[in-house]
Amino acid sequence: MEGGAHEFDGSAFRECFSLSWRNPYVLRLAFSAGIGGLLFGYDTGVISGALLYIRDDFRSVDKNTWLQEMIVSMAVAGAIIGAAVGGWANDRFGRRTSILVADLLFFAGAVVMASATGPVQLVVGRVLVGLGVGMASMTAPLYISEASPARIRGALVSTNGFLITGGQFLSYLINLAFTKAPGTWRWMLGVAGLPAVFQFVLMLFLPESPRWLYRKGGWRKQKRSCVRYTRPRRR
């Protein structure tokens, strides 16, 4: 009833856990794609701690606040472009391919930032990471939603949001872990390349979104692999 109290119904959650337990392939798919959300959260959060040590190594960054602001904000600027390009790439090349491209951007950005010899390289690296963030932020939940059983779609898509906040939390832990290590901020920024490689490998073994295949006329070609989304594991 509108405006009144609603009684909580846990049947949807029970069904989600039950189906996921019987078909772990669905959970693996959701968490594999959700690593993009983890990278999203990590790369937007890690710069807050890394910038403190970047200022110690580069005097130009320490003296010019506009350089500091540029290093932080260029990831957001790249994300705007990445989200716009990601929409076209999703329709043209598919969700899975777009996630793989985002992983390459994440990895390239992490390498460029970790090996930076000046603020210019840091800005370039942040742009690359931002492009990956923009593509992953729209592609990962789209892929999960289209490849999940309809009954538990909402619960599985929420894993992407969970991993975004988890990535932000992880970034602060990594910042703390490397405060006394040689290289400090290089490790902080470079660690982001590891989840990108891990997700890239996982996505190579996952099929394309069934919805995208259907729209492109490839449903019959990969029907056998797509059936695995909803078929429970036999005991």
CATH of the domain at 79: 1.20.1250.20
Is residue 57, in this structure, part of any structural domain at all?
yes
Average pLDDT, the chain: 84
Distances (CA, A) of 22 to 17, 19, 146: 9, 5, 20
Amino acid letter, residue 119: P
Helix axes 65-93, 47-57, angle to 10 degrees: 130
Is residue 148, in this structure, part of any structural domain at all?
yes
Measured between alpha carbons, how far is 155 from 133 in angstroms, rounded to an integer?
A: 22
Q: What is the pLDDT of residues 171-191, one digit of tens each?
A: 999 999 998 888 899 999 999
Is residue 70, in this structure, part of any structural domain at all?
yes
Q: Give pLDDT, residue 1.
A: 42
How many structural domains is the chain composed of? 1
Is residue 123, in this structure, part of any structural domain at all?
yes
Q: Which two tokens stand for residue 184?
A: 């400090």
Is residue 95, in this structure, part of any structural domain at all?
yes
Under the banding of pLDDT at 50, 70 and 90, the label for residue 15 is low
Checking if the pLDDT of 13 tops 70, the result is no
Phi, psi of 20 (to 5 degrees): -65, -35
Is residue 221, in this structure, part of any structural domain at all?
no
158: left (phi over 0), alpha (psi -120 to 50) or beta: alpha
Measured between alpha carbons, how far is 54 from 2 in angstroms, rounded to an integer?
A: 54
Is residue 12, in this structure, part of any structural domain at all?
no
**CA triplet 113, 117, 122: central angle to 5 degrees?**
35
Under the banding of pLDDT at 50, 70 and 90, the label for residue 11 is low
Rg (CA), the chain: 20
Is residue 5, in this structure, part of any structural domain at all?
no
Checking if the pLDDT of 125 tops 80, the result is yes
Q: What is the pLDDT of residues 22-43, one digit of tens each?
A: 667 778 888 899 999 999 999 9
Q: Give pLDDT, residue 8.
A: 46
Overall residue count recorded for the chain in this entry: 235
Between 9-18, 27-36, 87-96, the lowest mean confidence (pLDDT) is in: 9-18
Q: CA 37, 39, 45, 49: dihedral to nearest 10 degrees?
A: 160
Q: What is the DSSP letter of 16?
A: H
Structural domain span for residue 179:
34-207
Q: Give pLDDT, residue 2.
A: 45
Q: Across residues 80-85, what is the average pLDDT? A: 93
What global pTM score does this model have? 0.82
Checking if the pLDDT of 52 tops 80, the result is yes
